[in-house]
Amino acid sequence: MERFYYVAGVTEERCLDIGCGRYNRFVKTFKKKKGVGIDVYPYEGLSEEEVVEDLASFPFPDGSFDSVTFIANLNHVPAGDRDRELREAFRCLKDGGNIVITMGNPLAEIVIHWLARFSDRFLGTRVDLDGERGMDEEEDYYLTDREIINRLDQAGFTDTRKKYFITQWGLNHIFIGWKNSMRT
């Protein structure tokens, strides 16, 4: 949940949250319904409009959003689709809009995924979204900083910056890139 607070603080007005997960919580709660959340998996609490068939072809006109977010999930986009999906994010952004991606430290991501799977299996919780939908063989538990920055550059984003969350022992970080930015 802390990631949502950080992301809400750096997104612009109308936001597209890609891979929104259960209940489309980020847009509905943290963005106060100023945006749209979409996912390819029909998680609990998502409407038919929030579930799309292909995240490499968004059902929105060019320049529809001020921000696009991938909150702790770009690593779950199959490797062969990541560049196409980021180009779609770029297409849907207004000029001057930003993309926001969160990613945990590699070791932390592996441990968190393992703990979530363990908790669901042995304690009967429902915290492992990856286990709920099943992980594709082209998904990863984490992406390196270099891969994220390179893919954002290839998609056309500029002025990409990485910041650490001040909580969670600095194990999570956020990448912010811009479309046609004039920022210095």
Give the number of domains in the chain: 1
Mean pLDDT (the chain, rounded): 87
Tokens for 127, please give them.
Answer: 């915290």
Pure H helices in 124-161 = 129-133, 145-155
Evaluate whether residue 184 is within a structural domain.
no
**Contact (CB, 8 A) for 7 and 56:** no
One-letter amino acid of 163:
K
In a domain, 102, yes or no: yes
Strand 172-178 and strand 158-164: the pairing is antiparallel
Q: Is residue 183 part of a domain?
A: no
Please, what is the Cα angle at 179 between 166 and 150, to 5 degrees?
65
Q: Which domain holds residue 116?
A: 2-178
Domain-located, residue 11: yes
**CATH code of residue 51:** 3.40.50.150
Run of H or E residues at 95:
strand 93-104
Q: What angle do CA 168, 142, 7 make, to 5 degrees?
A: 50
pLDDT band at 135 (very low <50, low <70, confident <90, very high): low
93 strand-pairing partners = 65
Which tokens hold the place of 93? 């952004």
Domain contains 128: yes
Residue 14 per-residue DSSP state: S
- The answer to the question of residue 77 being in a domain is yes
Residue 147 lies in a domain: yes
pLDDT tens digits, 140-179: 778 999 999 999 999 999 999 998 877 655 668 899 999 9
What three-state secondary structure class fits 172? strand
pLDDT at 138 over 60: yes
The band of 132, judged by pLDDT with boundaries at 50, 70 and 90, is low
Cβ partners under 8 Å of residue 148, min gap 6:
74, 101, 103, 175
Q: What is the pLDDT of residues 93-118, one digit of tens each?
A: 999 999 999 998 776 666 776 777 77
